[in-house]
Amino acid sequence: MTRANDVNAWQQKAQAQAELALARVLPPENETPAGLHQAMRYAVLGGGKRLRPLLVSAAAELGEADADAVAQAMAAVECIHVYSLVHDDMPAMDNDSLRRGKPTCHVQYGEAAALLAGDALQTLAFDVLSRPTGLPAARQLRMLQTLAQASGSLGMAGGQAIDLAHVGLPMSRHELEQMHSLKTGALIRAAVALGALACPDISDDRLAGLDGYARKLGLAFQVIDDVLDCEADTATLGKTAGKDADNDKPTYVKLMGLAPARAYAETLVADAVALLAPFGSKAGHLRGLAEFVTTRKN
pLDDT score of 194: 98
pTM confidence score = 0.94
* Residue 109 pLDDT > 60: yes
Residue 257 gets which letter from DSSP? -
Of residues 288, 281, 272, 278, the one with CA closest to residue 212: 272
Report how far residue 246's alpha carbon sits from residue 49's, in angstroms, rounded to the nearest whole number: 25
Tell me the pLDDT tens digit for each residue of 146-193. Answer: 999 999 999 999 999 999 998 888 899 999 999 999 999 999 999 999
**Which amino acid makes up residue 109?**
Y
Which distant-in-sequence residues (6+ apart) come within 8 Å of 35 by Cβ?
Answer: 109, 113
Asked if 70 contacts 109 with a C-beta cutoff of 8 angstroms, the reply is no
Length of the chain: 298
- Dist CA 294 CA 225 (whole Å): 9
The CATH superfamily of 3-295 is: Farnesyl Diphosphate Synthase (1.10.600.10)
Instruction: Dump pLDDT digits (tens) for 240-272.
Output: 766 666 667 788 998 999 999 999 999 999 999
pLDDT category of residue 8 using cuts at 50, 70 and 90: confident
Nearest CA to 80 out of 194, 176, 181, 163 is that of: 194
